[in-house]
Structure 1
Amino acid sequence: MVAAELRPIGIDLLYPTPSTQQLQEAFKGRSLRDLPSPAAVIDRAILEVNCYQMLENCQALDISLRPHTKTHKLQVGETTKDVKFVVSTIAEIEGLRETLLNKKLQGKQINILYGLPLPPSACTRLASLAKELGPQTISVLIDHVDQLNESERFLQLSGQPLQVFLKIDTGYHRAGLDSNSQGFSNLLTYVSSLQKSGSVNLVGLYSHAGHSYGSNSNNEALEFLLTELEELKKAAHKAITILNEAFFPKLTLSVGATPTASSIKALLEDVPSSRSDSVSKLQRLVSRINQDFTLELHAGVYPILDMQQLATQAMPLTTSDVALTILTEVNSLYPHRSPPEALIAAGSLALGREPCKSYPGFGIVSDWGFPPSVTTQGKRKEMRSGWQVGRISQEHGILTRDPEAFELEDGWPLDLEVGQKVRIWPNHACIAGAMFGFYLVVDSRLEGREDEVIDVWVRWRGW
């Protein structure tokens, strides 16, 4: 019975994906203008810069990075001794298997955190992965005592204790426990008993500042990070007091979200006086935390970015920093409407239905594929075409005027043609990307070949 349970139904059976080799044979070397759409396109040049910037941010604070899996090999770099990820699905861990085994052969320490509070149904697949990858390679989030009912089973299946992060709510109110609650104290007491029995190993505490998407400046994002650090430090000290066990290792405190993680770039720049207090407080706080705990930063969408991240203004960004675009085609024109509109074959199933606080639409059309100048009275800004996705339904997207594209309100012509390919920056890259089975990769550094597909990356789909 146990042997059968160690062969869980996983990604290979449930979620078949196209062959990478077949996709590369079909797409590599071809121009985006000649390809079927909608399609998801990633500019590797932009993505690499974003990944390296986050690694520099962490180096500036002398803390480690736990990326939320997006573009895994670029996110961890080549020189880091630890390879740590947080994932949203078990399918992502299964997709990472080969990469992780190779990193182990290189002498790297690996650890993957399943980023949702543990459901019982996940135990078998996670235990199978832990058995294959080795001790202390798979961690889980816990915010309820009943989630630990699977710890003994995990130990039996994998031969190792369940590695646990306690999920702390520091203001987002999506998941996690308030460190002042009785539930947090009860959970710690139960974890202590399971650690003594050998079925659980407490690794650390984890929080996610998803509410930092409401930031409107670098300083606001830094303040969100400061609050998260203070709250997690307080929770960790309370945990030590309740546990009061000499055998507990140095706890890891894992904090972050893309706006707060990006705001750290202020440490690498000449800081204006309005931000200097927050930057100094951050440096002092991180230094104090590092004395008692191991601090790590997690973030997800930063390699790709999107219109939501630009709206937070956590760091100076423009649309030229967004690596993902959705390639689509103009199906029809409506010049009789006032103002004129157009139809594209990309609605909620290609772009998602995520709003953005900075404008009332679902994506911004870039100036790719447009003439060098589409207006004689206005100056184009931020590589925007003058169109945005103003309305969407399932497969339909309605292009409407983008009032932020030009410095002047006049001189906005109907400059589209039926059959014209356009590229759109989505509001939420994670959701838009999930609509597609693979990404077409281009590289804007290749002069004269900027639109050529140089690679195809297959997504890990499913759960």
Structure 2
Amino acid sequence: MHRHCKSLLDAVEYLGVGFRAHVKTHKTLEGVRLQVGEAKTEALLVASTIAEIEYLQPLLHEFIENGRQVNILYGIPLPPSQVDRLAAIGRQLGQGAISVMIDHTSQLNHVARFADQASFPAGVYLKVDTGYHRAGLPPSGLNKDDLISKLMNLDSLGKINFIGLYSHSSLSYNGSTTEQAMAHLEGELRGCLDALEKNSSLFYSDKEITISIGASLQVTSIENLVGAKSALSEDAKSLRRTLHKVVTDRHCGFRTKLELHAGVYSLLDVQQLSTHSRADLGDYEDEIAISVMAEVCSVYNDSERQQPEALLAVGVLGLGREPCAAYDGWGIIDRNDYSSNTSNPDRRLIVKRVSQEHCVVSWGVGQIVRIYPNHACITGALYGWYYVVDSSEHGERVVDVWERASWWETSIAR
């Protein structure tokens, strides 16, 4: 985890772009420290829930006391039920510490209410849909119901502080090469530039506009541009040119600033590795920082079934049920937990079937195995803490316990 966080920080510094760390995967204070590093004067974060932001407050206060510029973005278009809690956090952290995103005119009232309660305006990103279709407005429809015009008016009145455009696109999860990952990042960036161009007459020309883009796969693909030992591919050259233009040139008369955001890169998972977004990544055992330890409770290896299988004491509630395009299963067993003396070293033991509390693999009784999950964000959310091991010690000793912000509050179960 330390290595993944450092390599991305080194890459964004090498390219001269900004970085905003998403905390939703690990949800820990210690993980945030690794993501923002110690050298930078700013700590820019994204959180998916207000509970995460509340949990991070002591660390954010520490950063501020040490002279770091702190800003945390609430990572969904602002719902009215969360304004009071967000404003209370803002009052504690101070002006400039809170940002939100919007993609509908009704949310402007909520942002104005934040300013009244916090006594300072929130930073505001306009959410752009660059093709992923989870949230946001398309470039050609960004001014739906005069959204931009009303936003600029509130900015002039001091009710908001307009920052720029924000896109999150996970289309790169469908890729399988470094070239595809880089192309997805460039495509997302061009989508935001298109939104700026199509609506240029509506933004105030004296504003510096931040373009914030990313998902872990396409963002970490920039590491392929750092210290390349061989000639760059055409995709890599095109991405580097586009990144450079946003940082150095004016677009439609505006000064632009580039900010990348990512989260699951810090842990990685089977799904992330299967896309090959970075050329220098190793195998599951080398790269995935999160795993689930599970006990083997029964074995079926005497022709009871078509092939030998074993029952493990973990299921959907401990692994999640996120599929992965790379294979037909729900988790990969660590190769160190079984003999590697096989005629087919590429063959892996996998979690083949899952139920609520149990799963089925091929194995032997009584041992504990390590399972690498398909999706670190989902699997991590099923636990209250991590037992932390140090890979430099061969991962044989627990050196720390990290507590997670693991509660959920924006929906009510009835």
TM > 0.5 between the two? Answer: yes
Match of 2:132 among 162, 172, 175: 172
Partner of 2:288: 322
SS in 1 for 2:278: coil
Partner of 2:17: 63
Partner of 1:460: 405
Q: Residues 207 and 255 of structure 1 are in contact (CA less than 8 Å); yes or no, is this contact kept in structure 2? A: yes
Q: Encode CA deviations 1:21-48: one digit per residue, 9 max, x unaligned.
A: xxxxxxxxxxxxxxxxxxxxxxxxxx11
Partner of 2:264: 301
Q: Residues 271 and 375 of structure 2 are in contact (CA less than 8 Å); yes or no, is this contact kept in structure 1? A: yes
**Percent same amino acid among aligned pairs?**
41
Partner of 1:425: 372
Counterpart AA for 1:159: S
Query: Post-superposition shift, 1:446?
Result: 1.5
SS in 2 for 1:389: coil
Query: Post-superposition shift, 1:356?
Result: 0.2
The separation in 2 between residues aligned to 1:66 and 1:195, in whole angstroms, is 23
Partner of 1:411: none
The separation in 2 between residues aligned to 1:276 and 1:457, in whole angstroms, is 41
The separation in 2 between residues aligned to 1:209 and 1:324, in whole angstroms, is 23
Partner of 1:49: 3
Match of 1:132 among 71, 76, 92: 92
Query: Post-superposition shift, 1:418?
Result: 2.1
Q: How many residues align structurally?
A: 391
Match of 1:380 among 331, 345, 357: 345
Partner of 1:7: none
Counterpart AA for 1:175: A
SS in 2 for 1:387: coil
Structure showing greater radius of gyration is 1
Q: Residues 72 and 97 of structure 2 are in contact (CA less than 8 Å); yes or no, is this contact kept in structure 1? A: yes
The separation in 2 between residues aligned to 1:153 and 1:182, in whole angstroms, is 23
Q: Does 1:282 align with 2:239?
A: yes
Mapping for residues 432-443 of structure 1, pairs under 5 Å: 432-443=379-390
The separation in 2 between residues aligned to 1:63 and 1:183, in whole angstroms, is 27
Query: Post-superposition shift, 1:277?
Result: 1.6
Distance 1:228 1:185, change over 3 A: farther
The separation in 2 between residues aligned to 1:235 and 1:264, in whole angstroms, is 23
SS in 2 for 1:343: strand
Distance 1:341 1:188, change over 3 A: same
SS in 1 for 2:151: helix
The separation in 2 between residues aligned to 1:395 and 1:360, in whole angstroms, is 19
Query: Post-superposition shift, 1:419?
Result: 2.0
Counterpart AA for 2:171: H
Counterpart AA for 1:315: R
The separation in 1 between residues aligned to 2:193 and 2:81, in whole angstroms, is 32
Q: Does 1:146 align with 2:91?
A: no
Give me the TM-score of the superposition, normalised by structure 2: 0.91
Counterpart AA for 1:303: S
Q: Residues 178 and 184 of structure 1 are in contact (CA less than 8 Å); yes or no, is this contact kept in structure 2? A: no
Partner of 2:50: 90
The separation in 2 between residues aligned to 1:453 and 1:428, in whole angstroms, is 23
Ranges in structure 1 where 5+ consecutive residues have no aligned partner: 1-46, 401-415
Partner of 1:112: 72
Q: Residues 215 and 259 of structure 1 are in contact (CA less than 8 Å); yes or no, is this contact kept in structure 2? A: no
Match of 2:224 among 266, 272, 277: 266
Q: Residues 217 and 313 of structure 1 are in contact (CA less than 8 Å); yes or no, is this contact kept in structure 2? A: yes
Query: Post-superposition shift, 1:179?
Result: 1.3
Partner of 2:392: 445
Q: Encode CA deviations 1:416-446: one digit per residue, 9 max, x unaligned.
A: 4322100000000110010000000011212
Q: Residues 165 and 203 of structure 1 are in contact (CA less than 8 Å); yes or no, is this contact kept in structure 2? A: yes
Q: Residues 16 and 247 of structure 2 are in contact (CA less than 8 Å); yes or no, is this contact kept in structure 1? A: no
Q: Residues 180 and 277 of structure 2 are in contact (CA less than 8 Å); yes or no, is this contact kept in structure 1? A: yes
Q: Encode CA deviations 1:284-317: one digit per residue, 9 max, x unaligned.
A: 2122211321111101100100010011111133
Partner of 1:15: none
SS in 2 for 1:166: strand
Query: Post-superposition shift, 1:184?
Result: 4.2
SS in 2 for 1:113: strand
Partner of 1:355: 323
The separation in 1 between residues aligned to 2:217 and 2:144, in whole angstroms, is 27
Q: Encode CA deviations 1:214-268: one digit per residue, 9 max, x unaligned.
A: 111000011101111111122234444212354xx31111011111111111112
Partner of 1:256: 214
Query: Post-superposition shift, 1:368?
Result: 3.1
Partner of 2:313: 345
Partner of 1:392: 354
Q: Residues 143 and 149 of structure 2 are in contact (CA less than 8 Å); yes or no, is this contact kept in structure 1? A: no
The separation in 2 between residues aligned to 1:310 and 1:92, in whole angstroms, is 27
Query: Post-superposition shift, 1:185?
Result: 6.9
The separation in 2 between residues aligned to 1:367 and 1:374, in whole angstroms, is 7
Q: Residues 326 and 425 of structure 1 are in contact (CA less than 8 Å); yes or no, is this contact kept in structure 2? A: yes
Partner of 2:251: none
Counterpart AA for 2:82: A
The separation in 2 between residues aligned to 1:53 and 1:162, in whole angstroms, is 31
The separation in 2 between residues aligned to 1:342 and 1:369, in whole angstroms, is 14
The separation in 1 between residues aligned to 2:165 and 2:366, in whole angstroms, is 52
Counterpart AA for 1:290: V
Partner of 2:252: none
Aligned structure 1 segments of 4 or more residues deviating by more than 6 angstroms = none
Query: Post-superposition shift, 1:141?
Result: 0.9
Query: Post-superposition shift, 1:190?
Result: 1.2
Counterpart AA for 1:313: H
The separation in 1 between residues aligned to 2:97 and 2:52, in whole angstroms, is 14
Larger RCO of the pair (alpha carbons < 8 Å, separation 6+): 1
The separation in 2 between residues aligned to 1:217 and 1:85, in whole angstroms, is 28
Query: Post-superposition shift, 1:276?
Result: 2.1
Cα-Cα RMSD = 1.7
SS in 2 for 1:254: strand
